[in-house]
Structure 1
Amino acid sequence: MASFILKRLLAGIGLLFVISSVVYLLMSLAATDVARNLLGETATQDQVVTLEKQLGLDQPVLVRYWGWLTDALTGDLGTSWSSRTSVTEIIASRIGVTLSVLIGAVLLTALLAIVLGAAAAITGGWADRIIQVSSVVVAAVPNFLVALMLVFVFALQLGWFRATGYTPPDVSIGAWLASITLPVLAIALGSAAGVAQQVRGSMIDQMQRDYVRTLECRGLDARTIIFRHVLRNSAGPALNVLAVLFVAMIGGAVVIEQIFAIPGLGSLTVNASLLGDVPLIMGIVITTVVMVVVLNLIVDLLQAWLNPKVRLS
């Protein structure tokens, strides 16, 4: 198991290096008039030139990248060009908000996918068709439209939740849960549809296997067979789909946080991109890749627990 974890960590480090390198080079080449954007249109040319020298923009891209990389390897992600604040401090103040939404979305996606997928596989008939059609329809609707519909129904019409805003958990647990409920639902509904289809297909395939008939002949009741054997053996493919969808959830969180005015990494990414704040964007990229690597490691460990053969792959 130790070698299994080590291989996954090394693969994650390699992925982190490649993505950060590519993003830095692309951002540096695409960013134009950064100093002018930061200072505003009223700044003089001398002020623009001075700021470019302070930020190191007068140096070649590879020189700037090497300086950033050597600092990043020591844990220093640099200083934001726009706010003159440590990138690490800025991200630390925002990541908890985004993680609360993403973790909630992942857990709700898994729960809905298991319930809907298992129900479709077990019941069959009209119930299966209704669940499948509903899943396809929900998956086809963009999450920002889902978010707007949720706001209209549950915030504006029913008044159960606030339309915008975020309450930290240290202020009020109840208010915090209320503030992230609609964003979590907006992200999870579409994702759950795709995973539910995978759970359904895997369970139908497993229920046709010989070991199920063997267990039935041994006298095990249907509930035990489904929940202790079929569902466990069907979880592997569903976990893979969930891991892939997590990347889409991160992208969706950028839009969802804007709609609900949540002060997470999403709104921070938009503002940093508009200003061409390369250090801050790179800090967000590093954080995002780390989250993806950690989730994939957790999924791999769950896969290894469900199926020991995975440890040898």
Structure 2
Amino acid sequence: MTSKRRIGDREVYPVGLGCMNITHAYGPPMDETEAKALLVRALDIGYDFLDTATLYGFGRSEELIGEALKDRRDSYFLASKCVLGFKDGQRTLDARPETIKAACDASLKRLQTDVIDLYYMHRPDPNVPIEDSVGALSELVAAGKIRMIGLSEMGAADLRRAHAVHPIAAMQSEYSLWVRNPEIAIKAACEELGVALVAFSPVGRGFLADPPVDPAKFHESDLRGSIFPRFDPENYAANLPLLDEARACAAEVGCTVAQLALAWTMAKGDNILPIPGTTSLQHLEENWGAGQIELSDDMVARLDASFLPEKAVGPRYSPMGQSVVTTEMYPFERDQA
């Protein structure tokens, strides 16, 4: 059995389950009966770290977790997020202390639980000092409503400012062979401060699969067709040759390309936990199996070289998407924006 990894004072299986796309982002929501069955199956397989957010499905992802798993609450580590919320069917960004506290109460109700193990600021709010927001989160810790504080899509400077107010247990950042921005600064800052690095989209939003996703088949509601420029037809075609070496490496290891991508992410640091999302029971099991794969140092170095950051074509976010994060960018991303 693969060793568990630490988030704060808890240990979890190194591959978690991201619960965004059961309700949100990559097309129509799952059938809710099937979504609940997938959540139950995840715990049955051995997943013990579930990651959701207020925003996902405008609260419906949290509700599905509560409805499906309320009787098994002690068997998994639960993370959710605030700051990105919703009002009247529209997305909001608000990190004021009173908003964070109200959002937590609403999430607890939807999740049908008394405590959230890890509660993240989903995004920085440029209108609210991060110290004020983390102060509110620390009060939620004192009140027993959350156990740990996390941040998402923020840079090293924000992490240090937040950590000075209250220990930060986890930073959630997009990290994969295809998106290596954490290597600019946040990965080292997490290692220095003892913070877990939770890697979202570790399979490149479906790019690091075999076969990879086909943008021509995206549903009109799929965000990959609008705010992620690497999925633009011209950029995507230019990125596809990157998969040739990934397929060769996966064949040598004896795993799928997606499992290789997850194993690589975990090999980049003992504090890194990928949280792939899926709507497929087959992929759910494949992703969990990646936690059993250990790559050699030579294989990691080979993949590092094959997926040098500057080989990716296109910035990871559109200007709108980039405007609400403080994660560090590579110079080439600014040039391509």
TM-score computed with the length of structure 2 as normaliser: 0.21
Structure number with the higher strand fraction is 2
Structure number with the higher helix fraction is 1
Higher normalized contact order (CA 8 Å, seq sep 6+, divided by chain length): 1
TM-score computed with the length of structure 1 as normaliser: 0.23
Structure 1 or 2, whichever has the larger Rg, is: 1
